[in-house]
Amino acid sequence: MAMATITLGHEAMATEFHATVLADDTGYARQAMAAAWHELDRLECALSRFRDDSDIARLNRLPTGGETSVGVDTFHCLQLADQLRRHTSGAFDVTYRSQTPAAPDQRLRLNPRGCRVRVLAAGVEIDLGGIGKGFALDRMAQLLDQWDVRCALLAASSSTLVALDPPPGTTGWPVQVGPARDARHPQLARAAISGSGVARQGRHIFDPRSQRPATANASAWALAATGAESDAWSTALMVLSADEARGCLASHPIGGAWQLPNAEPSTRLVTLRSEQP
Amino acid sequence: MKRRDFLVVSAAALAASNLPAAEAAKPIELALIGAGNQGRVLANAAVLTGQVRFRAVCDIWKYRRDPAIALLKNYGPEPKAYEDYRQLLAEEKGLDAVIVATPDFVHAEQTIACLRAGLHVYCESMMAATLADARSMVAAMRQTGRLLQIGCQRRSNPRYLHAKAKLFQEAQLLGDVTALVAQWNQPYSDDAGWPRRFALPDDLLKKYGYADMHQFRNWRWYRQHSAGPLATFAAQQLDVFHWFLGTLPRAVLAAGGVDYSKEHQWPDNGMAVLEYALPERVVRANYQVLMTSSAGGQGQFEMLAGSDGAIKLSENPKYAGIYHEAHAPDWDDWVRKRYLVKVGLPPEDKPAQGAATEAPTEAAVRETGQVVPYDMPIAVEKPVHQYHLENFFAAIRGQARLNSPADAVLASEAVALRITSAIQSAKREEIAPADLG
């Protein structure tokens, strides 16, 4: 049976998600994607800070010293976020909205026993906006693997793409990084890529270290093993200077990292790291 | 006992509980029977209470059972896996309660066995696929003296509780109740599939009552396994009216059919009109379930409408609202008491305070006064099922009474099942009180 391509969309996390799937049996692939969208909706219920009943909203209401159990998915996402905060020297931080003098590593305590989270300081606020979509795409990709639907590209808007196997006869899903005048074209297979920038939504990325809008870069891209990592790293790369970013990447390398510095319109794309030619 | 009195009593009981502190803090030992989508929702909500320890998970499908165990072992010792609930009951000693979230046609058998094993049971709604089965569950609850909470979780939802006690009963915002409207509309979705390499073998499917994997994954559409989506949603949503009004319908008219998905056995769209004889007047409920369209995104809600206003309830607050009729006495006192908050009108409809107005030189002809929207200052701050499970756990500890014991919601199940029989008969069916007990 010849492979056919289907494209499907779904709205969640205030974003349009899209899936491109190549499959012999498109009916089966649609069923797999229905299960994947269900997983996405389930995760949104736990991770959204805009739902009163979500884990994150409950954490954001806790007083200083308050502690609660959260769902396993929320806990794993917070663990990942904490790891990525350390890998990026604090440039990515899900507590960036907090109104507190407490240092970022003194705001939350994560206890795997019972998936318990303790809020250590007044004014702590969690926003998974810089990691949640990538985290959800990773879960969807895992689910498609269980269904043996292996040739697919999943996207949260155009900001994070998670690739499973590439189309037959290719080495990866072609993606573009950087402005058209100075673009790179990595191939994406069993990896994820995310872009962050100020072009679409204005200056919406904060530097958690200064609590001010990030000004160093106009755009940034990160290629990593998972959507959660690429999502978080693209945000961090918006915040970090090129030298700071190189320092972080030397200790914690990812597949690719690019910045478009916020200097002049003619500024060229800076490749900080790329495993592909 | 009236609901309001009960709240006072249960609050006092909580304050002056005679349970030793160690006993009160002891986790409730639980088993989960049925680890599908709803089972996972309930397991997650149960562990968030911090009051339970899951000892066992039972599901015939390893693909569902293993993730539930993986989830639960984060909150305590790893639960033991079972395929057959009978083996679970034979081997697991020291359980306090079970959560039953299997397909409806096995609820009665499993629930009754658990009750007879001395366990308290939280059973998902619907109670059963037939009225005979539902009645047998109530009988077992009474015989064993164990608790049987049915998953009509709206009865524990703080917004529903506020609406009933404060807005409907105390403030009497509706004036005279004149109509009831409820619906469950959802976009069409293809039948559920399954990952092929996790398909169950035919002999195992047949052992547990399924012809094949498609039937197993889509049991709600089959007469052997379910009373169908229309009855399922009606049992929960019409229960809200019965709970608020304390009245059951005396007649039903209904229409529906397998109009869209021809391979299904239960109607995908259905409409019913139910007639309620209140002491003062007859009111009718207009109820519909569309499994083929969101019909403009109006979603799911239950609305009580009256001469002075309407209370529209939904588990999803975006579909909910409280509406004041233009001619009705104002609700300012209730706003001051924080029973309500005003959502507001478009600016052009708001008269400016103290504004000078010119004497009219001619009569203004205007459209009917606008209905003013309000909301409740009550947020649902936990997953909706968590409130209902907390009520179940408090009842097990002797600190509360069940909000939806099986005998209280049996009548709503019976009404829901009468809708499907009215579709079959295609005529108005009179409902005698004895039919609903």
pLDDT computed for residue B331 by the predictor: 96
Is the pTM higher than 0.90? The answer reads yes
Given pLDDT bands bounded at 50, 70 and 90, which one contains residue A85? very high
Residues of chain B below pLDDT 70:
1-24, 344-369
HSE-up of B39 (CA within 13 Å, CB side)?
Answer: 29
- Chain A: give the shortest CA distance to residue B73, in Å: 9
**Rounded to the nearest 5 degrees, what angle is found at the Cα of B147, between the Cα atoms of B144 and B150?**
125
Backbone angles phi, psi at B30, to 5 degrees: -125, 155
**For residue B290, what are its two tokens?**
């569309």
What tokens does B350 get? 């708001």
d(CA B36, CA B42): 10
Strands (E), chain A: 4-12, 15-23, 67-69, 108-111, 116-119, 152-156, 160-163, 173-174, 187-188, 191-197, 206-207, 212-213, 217-224, 256-261, 270-274
Band (A179; pLDDT cuts 50, 70, 90): confident
A45 reaches B (C-beta below 8 A): yes
> Does the N-terminal peptide bond of residue B126 adopt cis geometry, omega within 30 degrees of 0?
yes
Distance separating alpha carbons of residues B34 and B121, to the nearest angstrom: 13
The reply to whether residue A114 touches residue B383, judged by beta carbons under 8 angstroms, is no
Q: Do A112 and B196 touch (CB under 8 A)?
A: no
The predicted pLDDT at position B368 comes to 59
> How many Å apart are CA A230 and CA A218, to the nearest integer?
17
Nearest beta carbon to residue B192 from set A31, A57, A114: A31
The predicted pLDDT at position B262 comes to: 85
Please, which residues 46-105 of chain A have a Cβ atom closer than 8 Å to chain B?
A: 52-53, 57-58, 61, 68-72, 75
Which residues in A lie closer than 8 A to residue B193 (C-beta atoms)? 28, 31-32, 34-35
Give the pLDDT score at A267.
Answer: 75
**Is there a contact between A84 and A92 (Cβ–Cβ < 8 Å)?**
yes
Pair A181, A73: CB distance under 8 Å: no
**CB contact at 8 A, B185 and B295:** yes
pLDDT digits (tens, 9 = 90+) for A29-43: 999 999 999 999 999
Dihedral sign of CA atoms B169, B172, B174, B179 in order:
positive
Specify the pLDDT at position B2: 36
Instruction: Give the residue from A223, A206, A203, A254 showing the smallest Cα distance to A92.
Output: A206
Over range A212-233, report the average pLDDT: 94
The verdict on A26 touching B (C-beta cutoff 8 Å) is no
Q: What is the pLDDT of residue A213?
A: 85
Q: How many Å lie between the alpha carbon of A72 and the closest alpha carbon of chain B? A: 6
Q: Fill in the amino acid letter for A196.
A: S
Which residue reads 């079959």 in tokens? Answer: B424
Dump pLDDT digits (tens) for B293-312: 999 888 999 999 999 999 99
